[in-house]
Every structure is written in structure tokens, then in C-alpha cells.
Structure 1
Amino acid sequence: MKQLLEFVPIALFFIVYQLDGETLAIGGWSHVVDGIYTATAVLIAATAVQVVVASYLARRLDKRSAWTLLAVAVFGGATLILRDQTFIQWKPTIFNWALALAFTAFHFIGDRNLMERTLGAQLQLPKAVWTRLNVLWIANFAIVGALNLWVAYGFSEATWVSYKLYSAIGFTLLLTVLTAVLVSPHLKHAETSSGDSR
């Protein structure tokens, strides 16, 4: 449910961008869609609503969601104020590279990496698996950040907007599958071990 909610702002960004030049009318309010700028304003508002709804459902504020909202507000705000789409195009790269840096730093700080600190209460995994998971997530964040810049600078703005939507879904699914592949053999082992101890 939480991951589905995270896609809503990106989907709305994509949909509103496609309405460039159209007039949106809600109640007595109307606005002519101004491409990337209207889409960015919708992204900021939708991300804020998504964070509030997700926090309400979880009964706590998710730190990653809060950081996402901050990044969207800062880079989206700069895009709107300066009328320069470069800021919103750089947001995914900076956010992903910051996560890659954090996961890398915590790999060397303390006795548990960031994956183990985050999921260690729910999963019991060997140290080598925690390390592989951490490296997988670092690679994901680094690659996603680099590809975002490649598309932003190598292709049209419209292509980048489409890429933003489809890559968010695609990379999330791929990361989920790869994480499950790494973790699932150890879950079966843990279930067998707990069954043998009865």
C-alpha cells in the first residue's frame, strides 16, 4: 500500500504534464496547464498529501518519505520560482545519490549497515547477506541517479517526464525482486530452524 501511494505523485506529475496547454477547472478555479511548471506544482502538492496519508495510515512519519517531500519541495520550489526545469530534473539524481552515499557511509560506520539497521528487527539474516543487500541498494541508487541525468540531458523534456514515471515503477519492481531473491532462501531456513526447535 505504501509503495503504491509513493507512485501517485509521480503519476499525477506525468498526467498533468501531458495536459500542456489545456485548461484545468475545479469548482470556480481554472488554470491553463503550463507543462513542466504546473506538473511540478502538482508533484509538490501530491507528495505532501501522500506523506500525510502514509503517516496517518502508519501512525508515524516515515523518514524516507519526509526526506522525499523535502527534496521535492526544495527542487520543485526552485523550478517554479526560477522558471528553470533543471532543478526538478536534478532532484531524482541528487536524492538517489544521497541515499547511495548514506548506505555507503553506514556500511563502514558501526557493526551494522543501513539495511540491517532498518530491517534487522524484522529479519534475521547472515552478515554476508546484509552486506550483499546493502551493496545491491547502493548500486541501485547510484545507477538510477546516473540514468536520470543521462535521460534529462540526452533526450527531450517530454521523454524525461515519461522516463521518470516508467523508471520509478520499473526500478522499484526490479529492486524488490532482487531483494526477495537474496532474502528468500534465508527465510525458508529460518522457518525450518524455528519449526525444528518446537
Structure 2
Amino acid sequence: MVERKQSGILKLVLELGPLATFFLVNSRAEAWDLGRFLPTADLPADQVPIMAATCAFMVATVISLSVSLAVYRRVPIMPLVSGAIVILFGGLTLYLQNDTFIKMKPTIVNLIFAAALLGGLFIFKRPLLGLVFDSVFKLDAEGWWKLSLRWGLFFLVLAALNEIVWRNFSTDTWVAFKVFGTMPLTVLFTLTQLPLLQRHALPDESAS
């Protein structure tokens, strides 16, 4: 029980660590004079926080994925896809000195997940969420179909919200929304799916 609890805490740290790092560095970059460490030259002062945060985000993401691989001998598909896009769009952000790329990253990630889940249902006629989480919990076919549909639609909502926020509000507001908006919304949505999981859960064969 203790080992399982410690494992759960570690997974939470690995998932939230890069995001927390992104928020912290963006809010403290000027106070810490991080502009002089950036691999870009002659940045406007108002661009230093987001560029420094992007650098830190990329480094923290690589560390998180590396620790996950070392500890669990595998990296879950969703953090792996998200991490790859962080590196790609973060690199473009720094190279072109344009924060649009890192701001679009959540949109792209959520659209990829939505396309995979909804495409699996309506094109391939398979609830792909079951392939990812079948080892975590067991559901009947209807349960996997409903859960995949709901998560696919939720990812579309997250993509739309990200576009609305970064296009209409300041960078600091977008960063705050990314940390204090997206994560609580995801946790709340996950909790609302518990009744569905209970209704469609298969009997535990190991208990018989």
C-alpha cells in the first residue's frame, strides 16, 4: 500500500512538475534576471519571461520523461506525445523568438488526442481509450465507447478554450489559465466520469 501511494505521488510530480516549472519561471524570470541565460539575443524585456519559461518547460519535460522511463521502464503514450510537441514547439518558439508556437502547443496536443479518440470511434469503430487504460480498469464495450466519446469531446473543449485565452488575453493570463484553469477542469471532468466507470465496470475475476 505504501509503495503504491509513493508511486502515485511520483506520477503526480512527474505530470505536474513541468507545468509548475513553466508557471514559476514565467512569473519570476525578470526578478531572477534569466534573460542573460537565454539562447537568444536582444530579446524585448516583455518577451523574456515566456522565453525563459519555455526553456525551463522543455528541460523539465525531458527530465520528467527520463525519470518515468528509468523508474517505470516505460513512458505512457499521452505524456510522450505531449512531451514531443513541447520540444518541437518550444524549439520553434526559441528559434523564431515567437511565443505563438508554445501557446498553440496545448491546442495541437488536445486536437491530436480528440482526433485519435473520435476517429477511433467513428472511423475505425474502436474505442482506442480501452487500448491505453485496459490495464488500469476493466469496462464493458459500451463503457469504453462512452468514455472515449466523452474524453474526445472534452479534448475539443480544451483546445477551443486554449485558443480563446491565448488569442484574447495577455501571456501571463494564458500561463495562469494553463496551470490553474486547465488542470482543475481536467480533474473535475475526471471525477464526473466516476459514475460511468462504476456502471460499466466488469467483475474482478481475480476476486473469484
Is residue 83 of structure 1 aligned with residue 97 of structure 2? yes
What number of residue pairs does the alignment pair up?
190
**Where in structure 2 are the equivalents of 1:40-51 lying within 5 Å?**
40-51=54-65
- Mean alpha-carbon deviation: is it higher for 103-112 or for 126-135? 103-112
Q: Could you tell me which residue of structure 2 aligns to residue 190 of structure 1?
A: 203
Kept in 2, the 8 Å contact 1:23–1:31? The answer is: no
CA distance in 1, matches of 2:69, 2:193: 25
Q: Could you tell me which residue of structure 2 aligns to residue 12 of structure 1?
A: 21
Query: Cα deviations across residues 32-64 of structure 1 (Å, max 9, x unaligned)?
Result: 892100000000000000001112221113222
Q: 1:84 to 1:111 in 2, by over 3 A?
A: closer
> One-letter code of the match for 1:139?
L
User: How far is the alpha carbon of 1:104 from its aligned partner?
Assistant: 1.3
CA distance in 1, matches of 2:80, 2:127: 21
* Structure 1 residues without counterparts, runs of 5 or longer: none
Kept in 1, the 8 Å contact 2:55–2:90? The answer is: yes
Kept in 2, the 8 Å contact 1:55–1:62? The answer is: no
CA distance in 1, matches of 2:169, 2:190: 28
Q: Could you tell me which residue of structure 2 aligns to residue 62 of structure 1?
A: 76
Q: 1:51 to 1:168 in 2, by over 3 A?
A: farther
* Structure 2 residues without counterparts, runs of 5 or longer: 1-7, 39-44
TM-score w.r.t. length of structure 1: 0.86
Structure whose residues are more often strand by fraction: 1
Is residue 131 of structure 1 aligned with residue 145 of structure 2? yes
- Mean alpha-carbon deviation: is it higher for 73-82 or for 164-173? 164-173
Q: Which of residues 157, 161, 170 is equivalent to 1:147?
A: 161
- Mean alpha-carbon deviation: is it higher for 60-69 or for 115-124? 115-124
User: How far is the alpha carbon of 1:3 from its aligned partner?
Assistant: 3.6
Is residue 177 of structure 1 aligned with residue 183 of structure 2? no
User: How far is the alpha carbon of 1:120 from its aligned partner?
Assistant: 2.9
User: How far is the alpha carbon of 1:174 from its aligned partner?
Assistant: 1.7
CA distance in 2, matches of 1:138, 1:68: 16
Query: Cα deviations across residues 90-140 of structure 1 (Å, max 9, x unaligned)?
Result: 000011001100111211355531112222344332222111101111011
> One-letter code of the match for 1:15?
L
